């Protein structure tokens, strides 16, 4: 058994590490084992005359099958009409593997070839992570590119609800994932203060205003019933007295200002900040909306029927035509959406992400269709649809409605549960699940929220480090990693090695939840290590090696928590 002292400072140490054990070809130190295997397998298959099959290499579920396995021989059984085990033997014979990176591969049952990566590979990760620090694991995919992430986009008719929370947290985390990979990201909020909703809101405030003045005025039929409108009305009375007349635009403007301030405040409470607020009204004023209709009309895709203006989507393979301008003369939401997306495309982002609730599922294809017809390249646009949150109270489903004031605000939830709990609650679930949110358990849940499991791991590490320092033991950049042989240590290392896979996977899918799942597993690996292996002991060399291990673990945890917008506490 050889060993050597690793030096943390120069990253070059990984490349030029001759003198410390066996010399390794440079490529294998830089390339991840999975990609390396895919390449070597591809070459082996080529030598066997199989160029059509792309080998897949995936992590194994069970450690007894090693770290990585491939199913190529199973895939080839049909073409070759031979026993997969025989094929596996043949592939293995052709495979050019570096014995220093892998143990001897094995072939198991149906015909899998299993690869076990030598522990040295994992140990080398530690200095790399410590050197990288808070930049460790950052991707470069988006370097030099811009991205726009549009989310929340609720019209300012009332406070944000728990339902909006899902989109708010999701969008912010998606934006952070992009930033982690090098994108320059604009978080954007799109709203409409000129439409029917806002008009009714103004009328509702107006009614409340006159009610405050003792007049018997009814709320409009579809009016907003929230208590917050009474407050706005009361403020108007104290600021403006009794002079306001019916139809004054101040009712709507006052409501919008107050409500928007409240929305921004609720978002800030979750650590969410938009850089750009786009107002639909601008697209009317600039003529962009008229231009949209005119451009489509030029392509003979617009017609009038029953006093409405229609978009002839059936001519483009859709099942029915869509109304763009209602018989009342007001556009439907589709039309400004088209103009808005045209604008976003013209702003030349490399990536445009739209986060919509399930209620927009039918809309965006029409928007994309229109833009394609106008010869825009819509490939930068990625639409993420999330399902709704179902609120449950006393075992009953609660239908939320801003208008009927039947909702729980995001702010209330944040107050009782806390920012991290709320964020994690929404992040840990896939966006495509219809998730149930039990209001009765909201507070209770906050104490058992799995986010604490992650944060606890971080706090525990911090505590060990503090404990060491109190005994005069501090981390040094000289440590012997070969002392890390305990299964708990190796499992923890292996889990850390998956961090970049997790962030890359999150980037591809734009699903923050994969990172949350990863961090859960990492925390588990740490907690198990913690129980089995004491860090600060009389054995100075082992203590240093384990300190290095937990320093690295803390960095990965903190980086992952940071991407998700969660705090990494030093104490709990």
- Which residues, numbered 82-111, are part of the site for RNA (CB under 7 A)? 84, 108-111
Of 533, 552, 557, 558, which lies in the binding site for RNA, with binding defined by CB under 7 A? Answer: 533
Residue placing its CB nearer to RNA in the complex, 134 or 222: 222
453 counts as binding RNA under rule CB under 7 A: yes
Q: Name the residue nearer to RNA (CB basis): 236 or 497.
A: 497
Task: Pick the closer one to RNA by CB: 140 or 328.
Answer: 328
Task: Based on the shown chain and the rule CB under 7 A, indicate whether residue 282 belongs to the binding site for RNA.
Answer: no
Q: What is the CA radius of gyration of the chain?
A: 29
Piece of 32-40, 170-178, 340-348, 443-451 that binds RNA (CB under 7 A): 443-451
Cβ neighbours of 155 (radius 10 Å): 20
Distance CA 521, CA 570 (A): 20
Considering the complex, what minimum distance in angstroms separates the CB of residue 146 from RNA?
Answer: 23
168 or 244: CB nearest RNA: 168
Applying CB under 7 A, does 75 fall inside the site for RNA?
yes
Rounded to the nearest 5°, which phi and psi values hold at 164?
-65, -25
Cite the beta strand spans of 25-101 per DSSP E: 57-59, 68-70
The single-letter DSSP state of residue 389 is: E
Contact letters (x/-) for RNA, 31-70, by CB under 7 A?
A: -------------------------x-xxxxx-xx---x-
By CB under 7 A, name the one of 7, 28, 32, 71 that touches RNA.
71
330 touching RNA, by CB under 7 A = yes
DSSP 425-473: HHHSS-TTS-EEEEHHHHHHHHHH-THHHHHHHHHHHHHHHHHHHHTT-
Measured between alpha carbons, how far is residue 91 from residues 53, 58, 133 in Å?
13, 17, 40
The 290-329 site mask, x for binding RNA (CB under 7 A), equals: ----------------x-x----------xx-xx--xxx-
Q: Which of residues 505-524 bind RNA (CB under 7 A)?
A: 505, 508-509, 513-514, 517, 520, 524
Sole binder of RNA in the list 218, 227, 377, 447 (CB under 7 A): 447
Q: For RNA, which residue of 339, 345, 464, 564 counts as binding (CB under 7 A)?
A: 464
**One residue of 429, 499, 549, 558 binding RNA per CB under 7 A:** 429
- Applying the rule CB under 7 A, the residues between 197 and 256 that interact with RNA are 197
The tokens for 160 are 């944000």
Which of 155, 482 has the CB closer to RNA?
A: 155
Interface of this chain with RNA, residues 132 to 191, rule: CB under 7 A = 155
Which of 23, 358, 474, 539: binder of RNA (CB under 7 A)?
358
Which of 203, 266, 414, 462 is close enough to bind RNA by CB under 7 A? Answer: 462
- For residue 560, how far is the Cα from the chain centroid? 11
The only residue of 436, 478, 485, 540 in contact with RNA, by rule CB under 7 A: 436
Site for RNA in 332-351 (CB under 7 A): 332-333
- Give, in order, the Cα–Cα distances in Å from 124 to each of 20, 29, 189, 369: 12, 9, 44, 51
Size of the site for RNA (CB under 7 A): 91
Which of 138, 230, 486, 528 touches RNA (CB under 7 A)? 528
Residues numbered 378-417 forming contacts with RNA, rule: CB under 7 A: 385, 387-388, 390, 397, 399
Is residue 450 a contact residue for RNA (CB under 7 A)? yes
Asked if 68 and 60 count as a contact pair (C-beta separation under 8 A), the reply is yes
Pairing of strands 146-150, 184-191: parallel
Q: Is 434 in the site for RNA (CB under 7 A)?
A: yes
Q: Smaller CB distance to RNA: residue 348 or 463?
A: 463
**Contacts from 283-291 at CB under 8 Å and sequence distance 24+?**
283/336, 283/339, 283/340, 283/343, 284/194, 284/336, 288/339, 288/342, 288/343, 289/331, 289/335, 289/336, 289/339, 291/339
Interatomic CA distance for residues 225 and 236, integer angstroms: 17
Looking at the Cβ atoms of 240 and 436, the one nearer to RNA is 436
Which of residues 52, 218, 227, 359 is near RNA by CB under 7 A?
Answer: 359
Decide: is 486 part of the binding site for RNA (CB under 7 A).
no
Q: Are 226 and 199 spatial neighbours (Cβ–Cβ below 8 Å)?
A: no
- Dist. CA 413–CA 165, nearest whole Å: 9
* Closer by beta carbon to RNA, 210 or else 280: 280
Task: Report the residue from 250, 255, 535, 556 that binds RNA according to the rule CB under 7 A.
Answer: 535
Contact of 543 with 535, CB cutoff 8 Å: yes
Nearer of residues 65 and 551 to RNA, judged by Cβ? 65
* Shortest separation between residue 267's beta carbon and RNA, angstroms: 18
Cα distances from 195 to residues 254, 284, 340, 546, in angstroms, run: 16, 11, 15, 62
Quick one: which H or E segment has residue 195? none
**HEC secondary structure over 272-309:** CCCCEEEEHHHHHHCCHHHHHHHHHHHCCCEEEECCEE
């Amino acid at each position: 058994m050889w060993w050597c002292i690793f030096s943390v400072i120069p990253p070059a140490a990984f490349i030029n590490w001759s003198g410390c054990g066996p010399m390794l070809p440079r490529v294998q130190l830089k390339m991840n084992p999975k990609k390396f295997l895919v390449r070597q397998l591809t070459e082996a298959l080529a030598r066997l005359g199989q160029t059509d099959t792309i080998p897949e290499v995936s992590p194994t579920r069970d450690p007894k099958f090693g770290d990585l396995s491939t199913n190529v021989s199973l895939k080839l059984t049909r073409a070759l009409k031979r026993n997969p085990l025989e094929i596996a033997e043949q592939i293995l014979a052709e495979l050019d593997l570096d014995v220093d990176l892998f143990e001897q591969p094995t072939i198991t049952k149906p015909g899998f070839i299993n690869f076990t990566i030598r522990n040295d590979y994992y140990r080398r990760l530690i200095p790399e992570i410590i050197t990288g620090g808070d930049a460790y694991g950052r991707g470069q995919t988006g370097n030099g590119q811009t991205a726009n992430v549009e989310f929340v986009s609720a019209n300012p008719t009332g406070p944000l609800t728990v339902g909006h929370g899902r989109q708010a947290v999701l969008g912010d985390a998606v934006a952070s994932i992009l930033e982690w990979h090098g994108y320059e990201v604009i978080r954007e909020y799109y709203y409409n203060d000129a439409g029917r909703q806002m008009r009714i809101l103004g009328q509702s405030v107006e009614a409340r205003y006159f009610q405050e003045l003792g007049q018997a005025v009814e709320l409009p039929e579809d009016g907003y019933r929230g208590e917050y409108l009474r407050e706005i009305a009361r403020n108007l009375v104290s600021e403006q007295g009794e002079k306001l007349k019916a139809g004054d635009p101040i009712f709507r403007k006052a409501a919008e200002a107050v409500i928007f301030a409240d929305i921004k405040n609720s978002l800030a409470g979750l650590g969410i900040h938009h850089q750009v607020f786009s107002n639909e009204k601008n697209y009317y004023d600039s003529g962009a909306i008229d231009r949209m209709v005119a451009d489509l009309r030029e392509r003979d895709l617009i017609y009038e029927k029953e006093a409405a203006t229609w978009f002839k989507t059936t001519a483009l393979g859709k099942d029915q035509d869509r109304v763009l301008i209602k018989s009342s003369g007001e556009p439907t939401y589709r039309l400004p959406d088209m103009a808005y997306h045209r604008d976003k495309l013209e702003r030349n982002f490399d990536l445009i992400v739209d986060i919509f609730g399930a209620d927009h599922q039918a809309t965006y294809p029409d928007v994309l269709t229109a833009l394609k017809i106008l010869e825009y390249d819509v490939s930068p646009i990625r639409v993420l649809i999330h399902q709704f949150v179902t609120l449950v109270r006393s075992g009953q489903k609660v239908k939320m409605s801003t208008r009927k004031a039947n909702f729980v605000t995001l702010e209330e939830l944040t107050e009782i549960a806390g920012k991290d709990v709320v964020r994690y609650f929404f992040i840990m679930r896939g966006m495509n699940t219809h998730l149930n949110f039990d209001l009765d358990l909201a507070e209770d849940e906050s104490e058992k929220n799995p986010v604490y499991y992650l944060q606890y791991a971080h706090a525990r590490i911090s505590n060990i480090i503090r404990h060491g320092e109190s005994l005069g033991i501090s981390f040094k950049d000289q440590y012997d990693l070969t002392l890390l042989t305990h299964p708990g240590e190796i499992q923890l290392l292996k889990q850390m090695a998956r961090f970049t896979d997790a962030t890359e996977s999150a980037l591809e899918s734009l699903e923050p939840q994969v990172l949350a799942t990863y961090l859960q597993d990492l925390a588990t690996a740490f907690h198990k290590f913690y129980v089995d292996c004491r860090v600060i002991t009389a054995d100075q060399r082992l203590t240093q090696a384990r300190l290095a291990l937990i320093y690295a673990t803390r960095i990965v945890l903190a980086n992952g928590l940071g991407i998700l917008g969660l705090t990494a506490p030093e104490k709990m």
